[in-house]
Amino acid sequence: MKGENRMDRDTEIALETGELYAFIWDQFDKSQWEQFSDDHFFRWSPLPADMGENNSFKGKVCLDAGCGSGRAVRSMLLAGAAKVCANDVGEGCVRNTRERNRDHSERLEVRLASVLDLPYADATFDLVHCDGVLHHTTNPQKGFSELVRVLNPGGKIVIAVYGRGGLMNL
């Protein structure tokens, strides 16, 4: 019984978070979104120094866990990723990511799913990107474990959280 209540609360929080961010990203029109996306990812995303625009994504299979508006997805696709998988708990976020990246649909897979239970096999991705997501979950440690689980050995993982203490408070 106690576990069921926890799962219900986890689901409730995930749905509320998804709806909130879907609403926020719906406010951007296509031109604002493209300009913001193209400029933002490589300038402000917490990518390691050796992951510049030029060749870090070429031929890679990437995951954007908690895709939001799809801006990181777009940047990875434009940088030559072989395939980008994306997931989010918000139906609006999933819809926006699909719609805003439809020019690359043959290399894109978008799913409605939580970072706490990723629907991918172990060691699937060369790059896992999760920006501003884990601290919104009820179990950041489980989310982190899921991100590591789907990462290829030798792959790269990029995680950003915000708030006082960052990862130290998760």
Could you tell me the two tokens for 123? Answer: 């060691």
Q: What's the Cα-to-Cα distance from 130 to each of 9, 34, 67, rounded to whole Å?
A: 22, 20, 8
Q: Coil, strand or helix: which one is 42?
A: helix
Contact at 8 Å (CB) between 76 and 64? yes
Tell me the pLDDT tens digit for each residue of 60-108: 999 999 998 888 898 899 889 999 999 999 888 899 899 989 999 999 9
CA atoms of 15 and 137, how far apart (whole Å):
11
CA atoms of 30 and 86, how far apart (whole Å):
19
The percent of residues in the chain predicted with pLDDT above 70, rounded, is 66
pTM across the whole model: 0.77
144: domain CATH number is 3.40.50.150
Tell me the pLDDT tens digit for each residue of 43-52: 556 565 556 5
CA atoms of 117 and 156, how far apart (whole Å):
20
Q: What's the Cα-to-Cα distance from 70 to each of 102, 124, 149, 155, rounded to whole Å?
A: 11, 20, 23, 22
**How many domains are there within the chain?**
1
Domain that holds residue 40: 2-169
CA atoms of 155 and 128, how far apart (whole Å):
8
Burial class (CB in 10 A: 0-12, 13-18, 19+), 18: buried
Of the two residues 127 and 22, the one the predictor is more confident about is 127
